[in-house]
Amino acid sequence: MIEKIMKINCYHCNSENIVKHGFDSINGKQLYKCNNCGKYSRDNPQYKKYSDNFKELVVGCYMEGMSLRGIERKFKVCRQTVSSWLKNKAKEKDLKDVLVEPDENGVIEVDEMWSFVFSTMYQIRKDALGYS
């Protein structure tokens, strides 16, 4: 009888002090709990990594007016993931790219850019992320 011995370490802290903790109901992989850091992980975890081009495509679709749920159905990406991509994209914008330069008289014309719906403030999508 040949027995395969696997040495599994914690994915988070690389400790060998782990115990089995049931099975993942979605894909049936063994779950483990680390006794050092208290975190849970699967054996051989594989996380989806989306390319930058794919992220730009999805963000562009949102900028063109596609809903988050529509993006979720079309591209098979969780809407919370898309939301985090949008937040990261908004943080990337440099402040000088967003600010308006005054004219020769030192005057800046400002139009209303905020909409209030049910007492919640929403900024126009394209202005928020720097798309025109």
| Cβ atoms of residues 67 and 51 within 8 Å | no
Q: Which amino acid belongs to residue 115?
A: S
- Residue 6, both tokens: 């696997």
* Residues 55-71: tens digit of each pLDDT: 989 988 988 888 999 99
pLDDT digits 0-9 by tens, 23-49: 877 777 888 899 999 888 887 766 668
- Check: CB of residue 24 under 8 Å from CB of residue 5: no
Give the residue extent of every domain in the chain: 7-47, 52-129
Q: Phi and psi for 32 in degrees, rounded to 5? A: -130, 150
Higher pLDDT, 79 or 122: 79
- Per-residue confidence at 99, pLDDT binned at 50, 70, 90? low
Angle of CA points 126, 127, 131, to nearest 5°: 50
Q: How far apart, in whole angstroms, are the C-alpha atoms of residue 17 and residue 24?
A: 20
